């Protein structure tokens, strides 16, 4: 195998809506019963998420999604606030409005929601609807990553690896890539593989380890000549 480029992969940010793992694979009728009978904000947000994305037994319906999110928000659910933010960020059922997306993300951030931190950090990292501010992006992503959010861990690894608004630090990049790779983020697996292949960030060269990570990354959807 030829020596890989040490630059790894650049990863594009995206606005991320999310449900709660608590209700993964739980039938719609059961979630609906919990939401309505117990007034459970997590279940209410789950229903909104399903209608927003048209998954798990429901057809996509932005109006219904917003109705359920609003019910969850009324009970103080920060995750639902972040999800409303993504609706404005992407223009899902509403006119795209970055200012409103930012407002909703900030509400979620105030409640320490890790997805709101991720999404608002993405806005500052890209300068999407706000003045680009890599330091703010790093602070928000760090808060999200420290809560265990794999996407934030991978993006934070990129910032350290490429020196995006902060001093390059391959050791810190490796630390966050390892965290994200353990949770199955393909891009982090790829970039960690590059480090093993080239003996970077304090790692000894390990071709077999690199190939194992490359394989996982390719299976996860990374598009790169090595995957062909």
pLDDT for 152-207, tens place per residue?
999 999 999 999 989 999 999 999 999 999 999 999 999 999 999 999 999 999 99
Q: In this structure, how many other beta carbons lie within 10 angstroms of the beta carbon of residue 185?
A: 23
Long-range contacts of 12-15 (CB under 8 A, 24+ apart): 13/122, 13/125, 13/126, 13/128, 13/155, 14/122, 15/85, 15/86, 15/89, 15/90, 15/101, 15/119, 15/122
Give phi and psi for 7, each to the nearest 5: -80, -15
Distance CA 45, CA 145 (A): 22
Phi and psi of 174, rounded to 5°?
-60, -45
12, pLDDT greater than 80:
no
DSSP 226: G
How confident is the model at residue 17, as a pLDDT?
A: 58
pLDDT tens digits for range 29-48: 999 999 999 999 999 999 99
What pTM was estimated for this model as a whole? 0.87
Determine contact, residues 70/34, Cβ cutoff 8 Å: no
Which tokens go with 13?
């940010």
By mean pLDDT, which of 14-18, 173-177, 220-224 is the weakest?
A: 14-18
Q: Which domains does the chain have, with CATH numbers?
A: 21-147 (1.25.40.10), 170-228 (no CATH)
How long is the chain? 228
pLDDT at 7 over 60: no
Pairwise CA distance, residues 108 & 220, whole Å:
29
Position 60 scores a pLDDT of 96
User: With pLDDT > 90 as the criterion, what percentage of the chain qualifies?
Assistant: 83
Residue 66 in tokens:
């917003």
pLDDT of residue 6: 40
Hey, which bits of 52-203 come out as E strands?
none
Q: Give the model's pLDDT for residue 225.
A: 85
């Amino acid at each position: 195998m030829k020596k890989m480029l040490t630059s790894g992969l650049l990863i594009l940010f995206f606005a991320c809506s999310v449900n709660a793992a608590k209700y993964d694979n739980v039938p719609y009728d059961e979630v609906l019963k919990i939401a309505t009978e117990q007034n459970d904000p997590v279940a209410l947000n789950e229903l909104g998420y399903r209608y927003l994305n048209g998954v798990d037994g429901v057809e996509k319906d932005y109006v219904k999604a917003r109705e359920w999110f609003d019910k969850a928000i009324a009970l103080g659910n920060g995750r639902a606030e972040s999800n409303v933010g993504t609706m404005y960020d992407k223009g899902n059922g509403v006119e795209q409005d970055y200012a409103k997306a930012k407002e909703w993300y900030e509400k979620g951030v105030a409640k320490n929601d890790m997805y709101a931190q991720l999404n608002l950090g993405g806005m500052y990292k890209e300068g999407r609807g706000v003045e680009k501010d890599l330091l703010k992006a790093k602070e928000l992503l760090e808060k999200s990553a420290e809560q265990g959010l794999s996407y934030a861990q991978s993006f934070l690894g990129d910032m350290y690896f490429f020196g995006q608004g902060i001093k390059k630090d391959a050791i810190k990049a490796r630390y966050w890539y390892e965290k994200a790779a353990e949770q199955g983020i393909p891009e982090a697996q790829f970039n960690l593989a590059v480090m093993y292949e080239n003996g970077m960030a304090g790692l000894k060269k390990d071709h077999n380890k690199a190939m194992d990570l490359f394989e996982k990354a390719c299976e996860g959807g990374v598009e790169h000549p090595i995957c062909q």
